[in-house]
Amino acid sequence: MGVILNQGSRNTVILYIGVVIGAINTLFLYPNVLPAEEFGLVTMIVTISFLMATIGACGTTVSIIKYFPYYRNNDTGEDNGLMSFILKIVLLSSLIITLLFVFAKPILQTPFENSASLLVKYYYLLIPFFIIHIVLELFTSLANALYNTTLQLAIREIFLRVGQTILIAFYFFNLINIKWFLVFYMFIYGISVFIIVNRLIRRNKISIVSQTKLSYEEKISIFKYGGFSFLSAFSRTLSFRIDALMLSMLVASDFYLNKGLEATAIYAIALHMTAVVDMPFRGINQIIGPVISKAWKDNNLKQISEVYTKSTEAMIVVSGLMFILIWASIDDILQLLPSEYEAVKFTFLWLGIGKLLNSACGSNEQILINSKKFKKFTLISILSLIITAFTNFLLIPKYQTEGAAIATLFTYAIVNSFLFYVIYRNYKIQPFKFHNLIVVAVLLMSLFIGSLISISNIFLSILIKSSIISGVFLGVVYKAKLSPEMNIFLEKFLKRIL
């Protein structure tokens, strides 16, 4: 658990620096500088290209985490042909997807013609964005497999966001239009890929091209696992990204062709705010996957159970605190946004509860996908896609962004219930303890105390509410020893300051 806590805490710090920069961009700069439909366009191009990258990866990003401990020679840096084989798969799939995207353009752009006409106009920019995304995801997985999570996270969470800030400033001073904004944004992604690949080659002596070839049986084994992982990754990714996609298609207006992109912009702000809630989980999850993969290799169920329990315990504390801090000041935050973004409030509420629930369930996804029962994870992932598509289709036309958020919450609840059940039934481990309920009660009490505070100045209100809620909650958690790992972290933090 030491490696997880050390890298997890560093990653979380990086993620929160990134989320502060992202908050400046998403909550203040984007809504006040770019028209809502152009903000929605940027969101949609990134979302769609990420989905395309998930398809093009063919499950290889998960296969790297799974098989790297088996093939990696730490002394020579060789991986015995693993990366060469994976790169061939990705190159072939990327070529097929690119050709399909070009020749199937009339079919693919039809759903967006009335609700997101700007997306149709910049359709071909999706292809280079897709290629850069797939390379970035591939080498990010390799960095994670090498326990080298900090640099790639800093690049993705800080460098890319600072780049966006600069581009928004250029747009504000009329130095670029939306077309060149997207082109330069793509260029920043390209620089990120170069830095990560260069660092991996120099520091870890990785061999992207190897003379060693995998046996036919090894290729079949990896390909089989990758196939199931692809179905899982695609279904899971689409499940929790399809909301923005369906908003851009289903929210339409006879008088305003980009109404869907405007709704996407509103949803993007709420989604960014909820990113603060699951940021600790993302930070720790970067390192949990490789650790659990190695534990399964060593058949160490005790370590897996320990990671499962402690990650859940930590996430209920940290993610829970993040959620109540934002919700306590939500009205203050909304005063900083243009009036057309008022729907952000309850969109955030439902999304935030969903993110909190997902974080609280800890590492169940990593446990199942790295186990011999990974096929069950694939089935659960496909089920989640069906559920979220159906609920979005029902709720978005009537409730728009709030409908998409409720659909996402419902999907998180169903999927995590299934994951919990499968893991407990097969391995007799579960992460929840009685004191987790006490933590939830303390969260609600702290939120109630914060709600009693009323100050007219927006920034002073946010500062005082956050300080009082954090002080009450962390003080009770520390004194009652409701989270030993959190106590250790707080003691180290205070020691460094003092």
User: How much is the pLDDT for 50?
Assistant: 81
Any domain includes 405:
yes
How many structural domains are present in the chain? 1
HEC sequence for the chain: CHHHHHHHHHHHHHHHHHHHHHHHHHHHHHHHHCCHHHHHHHHHHHHHHHHHHHHHHCCHHHHHHHHHHHHCCCCCCCCCCHHHHHHHHHHHHHHHHHHHHHHCHHHHCHHHCCCCHHHHHCHHHHHHHHHHHHHHHHHHHHHHHCCCHHHHHHHHHHHHHHHHHHHHHHHHCCCCCHHHHHHHHHHHHHHHHHHHHHHHHHHHCCCCCCCCCCCHHHHHHHHHHHHHHHHHHHHHHHHCCHHHHHHHHHCCCCCCCCHHHHHHHHHHHHHHHHHHHHHHHHHHHHHHHHHHHHHHHCCCHHHHHHHHHHHHHHHHHHHHHHHHHHHHCHHHHHCCCCHHHCCHHHHHHHHHHHHHHHHHCCCHHHHHHCCCCHHHHHHHHHHHHHHHHHHHHHHHHHHHHHHHHHHHHHHHHHHHHHHHHHHHHHHCCCCCCHHHHHHHHHHHHHHHHHHCCCCCCHHHHHHHHHHHHHHHHHHHHHHCCCCHHHHHHHHHHHHHHC
CA distances to 268, 372, 373 from 299, in Å: 41, 11, 14
Which residue segment(s) compose the domain that 59 sits in?
A: 2-432
Mean pLDDT per block of 10 residues along the chain (498 residues) reads: 53 74 83 84 84 79 72 63 79 89 82 70 87 85 71 82 92 91 90 83 65 72 73 69 67 47 80 81 72 82 86 87 92 84 89 89 81 82 84 85 89 89 89 88 92 87 91 87 75 67
Any domain includes 471:
no
What's the residue count for the chain?
A: 498
**Closest alpha carbon to 10 in 158, 136, 145:** 158
Any domain includes 253:
yes
Distance from C-alpha of 413 to C-alpha of 464, rounded to nearest angstrom: 33
**1 with 307: CB under 8 angstroms?**
yes
Any domain includes 280:
yes
Any domain includes 410:
yes
Any domain includes 174:
yes
Any domain includes 186:
yes
Burial class of 107 by CB neighbour count within 10 A (0 to 12, 13 to 18, 19+): exposed
Any domain includes 162:
yes
CA angle 171, 344, 188 (to 5 degrees): 35
User: How much is the pLDDT for 181?
Assistant: 93
Half-sphere exposure of 492 (CA within 13 A, CB side): 9
User: How much is the pLDDT for 446?
Assistant: 92
